[in-house]
């Protein structure tokens, strides 16, 4: 069994460990992303902050996670919305790059209190639009994420409106 051991003493917290049996993981997006990971993913693995380009996703993140067959090739992002909701995204771009596809967004309104999550599925964000994860609204100033299509070749999934995005760069089972 592989064990992930995370020391939190550097944060001024009592040392804790996080153990996962990675031999039993069927889908890392579902199984290993506990609430502490959603709050501070950089303690568990290296992350890219703020935004990720389509080319960075393809070269650095795609294929890095243990995912079930229907999720293979999707990227993973951790989000803290501008309305204080924590969550995680499973995303990719359409084949021509005209849309950002959020296959699943799981949001925890008060992750520290353990309230039940809310799941949004199959969100398609057109080029240069924002999306508000808290309300499920496409476009507008209240958005949390932005599909920033610079020129048809250079495009980003980026945080917007005071939200924060973190993109894990490695599996938690490495």
Rounded-to-10 torsion of CA 90, 94, 99, 102: -10
Tens of pLDDT, residue by residue, the chain (174 residues): 333 333 333 334 333 344 456 766 677 888 766 777 888 888 888 999 999 999 999 999 988 888 888 998 899 999 999 998 889 999 999 988 889 999 999 988 665 555 678 899 999 999 999 999 988 999 988 999 999 999 888 999 999 999 999 999 988 876
CA distance 45 to 24: 20
pTM: 0.83
Q: 64 and 71 in contact (C-beta within 8 Å)?
A: no
């Amino acid at each position: 069994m592989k064990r992930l051991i995370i020391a939190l003493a550097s944060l001024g917290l009592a040392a804790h460990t996080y153990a996962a049996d990675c031999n039993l993981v069927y889908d890392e997006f579902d199984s290993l992303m506990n609430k502490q990971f959603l709050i501070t993913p950089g303690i568990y693995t290296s992350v890219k902050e703020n935004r990720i380009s389509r080319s960075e996703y393809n070269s650095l993140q795609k294929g890095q996670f243990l995912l079930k067959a229907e999720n293979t090739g999707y990227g993973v992002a951790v989000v803290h919305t501008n309305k204080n909701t924590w969550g995680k995204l499973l995303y990719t771009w359409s084949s021509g790059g005209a849309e950002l596809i959020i296959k699943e967004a799981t949001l925890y309104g008060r992750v520290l209190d353990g309230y039940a999550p809310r799941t949004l599925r199959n969100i398609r964000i057109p080029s240069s639009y924002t999306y508000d994860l808290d309300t499920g609204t496409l476009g507008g100033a209240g958005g949390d994420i932005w599909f920033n299509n610079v020129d048809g070749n250079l495009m980003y999934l980026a945080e917007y409106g005071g939200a924060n995005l973190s993109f894990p760069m490695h599996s938690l089972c490495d």
